[in-house]
């Protein structure tokens, strides 16, 4: 069990690093979804443009409001990701990382390309078992989002799925 867990985490990290190197495509969100005993984790990487329409620090009150609204939506993880209720999942820690929004020095990718991402991780504890599906609310919450490319890791089994607007349900069975 311990080894399996490590493998799943290692795979996720590798996947995330690989993703970070290519230029992003507006309208597309990358989502790494992992099911482990008692735990359900989603790692999201999205162009900022999908969420707020620009990819730099906000300059006006209207832009600041868009950023605040997007962050509030992401922080409401249990609304954004409606997990199979049979699994009894409750939201745990959320991490959001978008250096471009903070107006500091742009990261290497942003400086080179003018593009910037937001990375987010959402973790849930599941008391009653493994969820069979999750309804993903990204299309409703963020109209500029057209497609979600999913990498699903269940134990040591990996598979790829694609969710295209307006579909919301991601099956979590092998
Ligand atoms: Zn971009």
Total number of domains constituting the chain: 1
Instruction: Report the separation in Å between the CA atom of 55 and the middle of ligand 1, taken as the mean of its atom positions.
Output: 6
Q: How confident is the model at residue 173 (pLDDT cuts 50, 70, 90)?
A: confident
pLDDT tens for each residue of 132-145: 999 999 999 999 99
C-alpha dihedral, 36 to 82 to 138 to 119, nearest 10°: -40
**100 to 39, 96, 103, 107: CA distances (angstroms):** 30, 12, 6, 8
pLDDT tens for each residue of 12-67: 444 444 444 457 999 999 999 999 999 999 999 999 999 999 999 999 999 999 99
For 47, the domain range is 2-171
Instruction: Report the separation in Å between the CA atom of 67 and the middle of ligand 1, taken as the mean of its atom positions.
Output: 16
Instruction: Report the separation in Å between the CA atom of 152 and the middle of ligand 1, taken as the mean of its atom positions.
Output: 25
Instruction: Identify the pLDDT of residue 5.
Output: 45
Q: Is 167 helix (H, G, I), strand (E, B) or coil?
A: coil
Decide: residue 83, CB within 10 A, 0-12 exposed, 13-18 middle, 19+ buried: buried
Does the predicted TM-score (pTM) go above 0.95? Answer: no
How many angstroms separate the CA atoms of 141 and 62, rounded? 18
């Amino acid at each position: 069990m311990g080894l399996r867990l490590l493998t799943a985490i290692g795979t996720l990290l590798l996947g995330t690093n690989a993703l970070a190197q290519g230029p992003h495509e507006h309208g597309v969100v990358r989502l790494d979804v992992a099911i482990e005993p008692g735990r359900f984790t989603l790692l999201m990487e999205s162009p900022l443009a999908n969420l707020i329409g620009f990819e730099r620090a906000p300059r006006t009150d209207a832009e600041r409001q868009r950023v605040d609204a997007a962050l509030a939506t992401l922080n409401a993880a249990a609304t954004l990701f409606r997990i199979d209720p049979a699994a009894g999942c409750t939201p745990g820690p959320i991490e959001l990382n978008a250096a471009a929004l903070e107006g500091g020095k742009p990261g290497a990718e942003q400086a080179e390309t003018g593009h910037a991402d937001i990375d987010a991780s959402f973790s849930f504890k599941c008391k009653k078992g493994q969820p069979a599906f999750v309804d993903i609310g990204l299309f409703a919450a963020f109209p500029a989002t057209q497609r979600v490319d999913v990498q699903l890791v269940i134990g040591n089994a990996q598979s790829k799925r694609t969710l295209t607007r307006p579909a919301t349900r991601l099956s979590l069975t092998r």
